[in-house]
């Protein structure tokens, strides 16, 4: 991997809150930055492979289907498996083993995934506080 900072699941688990895990993972990317462009077929082939489907299943179970693996942030809709370190066409073409290593993968929602890439905390899901009887006075 040729990155300035290699993010790992093991290291990320040192952070217990959703907010701290987000700060650890955020990339501060630019909206509209090119990723795969015309080579999108390369990553689509990768994401339909048997190896990817197996590691994806493992990561979902490991993270209990929770956003960034944090209890209380259960994902009830579409669930993404996020590569904690950006990948390139060359990484896929050369079959880099870290692409299917659970230590570099985490469960996210699409909303959280976009927040990580764009570095925008406003995109993060908001926790709904459960209401209880008599928790608010009308007057």
On the question of pLDDT at 28 being above 70, the answer is yes
The domain ranges of the chain are 9-30+40-123
CA-CA distances (angstroms) from residue 89 to 40, 42, 104?
A: 9, 7, 17
Q: pTM of the predicted model, to two decimals? A: 0.81
On the question of pLDDT at 2 being above 50, the answer is no
Element (H, E) at 52: helix 50-62
Query: What pLDDT is stored for residue 89 in this prediction?
Result: 84
On the question of pLDDT at 124 being above 60, the answer is yes
Contact 79, 109 (CB under 8 A): yes
């Amino acid at each position: 991997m040729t990155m300035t900072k290699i993010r790992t699941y093991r290291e990320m688990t040192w952070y217990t809150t959703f907010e701290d895990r987000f700060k650890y993972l955020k990339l501060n990317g630019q909206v509209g930055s090119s990723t795969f462009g015309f080579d999108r077929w390369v990553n689509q082939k990768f994401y339909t492979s048997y190896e990817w489907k197996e590691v994806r299943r493992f990561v979902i179970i490991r993270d209990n289907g929770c956003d960034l693996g944090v209890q209380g942030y259960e994902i009830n809709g579409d669930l993404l498996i996020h590569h904690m370190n950006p990948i390139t066409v060359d990484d896929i073409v050369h079959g880099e083993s870290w692409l299917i290593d659970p230590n570099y993968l985490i469960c996210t929602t699409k909303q959280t995934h976009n927040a990580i890439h764009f570095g925008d905390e406003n995109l993060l899901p908001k926790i709904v506080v459960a209401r209880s009887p008599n928790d608010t006075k009308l007057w």
